[in-house]
Amino acid sequence: MDWILLVGLAAAILTTFFLVPQIVKILRTKGTKDISLLMYVVITIGFFLWLVYGVLREDPAIIFANVIALILGFFVLVLKIKYK
């Protein structure tokens, strides 16, 4: 593995898991009142488009980051609907 791929994977990990604290808070409080539904819809669509881009470019860092981010973003949307 070359260093450029390692930098990409490290960036992917750090920027992808920013959703985890939000998910933990939602599960703990069972509340999503302060979460913008529109923001999470837009960001989840963005994750999907980045995933498509990564697949087309055959870039493992972009694919990895956005598969995880898409799952997490979708999970926040599900929780937002469930706990509204």
pLDDT band at 5 (very low <50, low <70, confident <90, very high): confident
Q: Confirm if 32 and 79 have CB atoms less than 8 A apart.
A: yes
pLDDT at 60: 84
pLDDT digits (tens, 9 = 90+) for 27-48: 999 999 989 999 999 999 999 9
Fold of 3-82: Monooxygenase (1.20.1280)
Secondary structure of 17-34 in the HEC alphabet? HHHHHHHHHHHHHCCCCC
Burial status of residue 73 (CB atoms within 10 A of its CB: 0-12, 13-18, 19 or more):
buried
Hey, what amino acid is at 83?
Y
**71 HSE (CA, 13 A, CB side):** 8
The domains of the chain are located at 3-82
pTM check: above 0.85: no
Q: Compare 29 and 4 and report the one with higher pLDDT.
A: 29
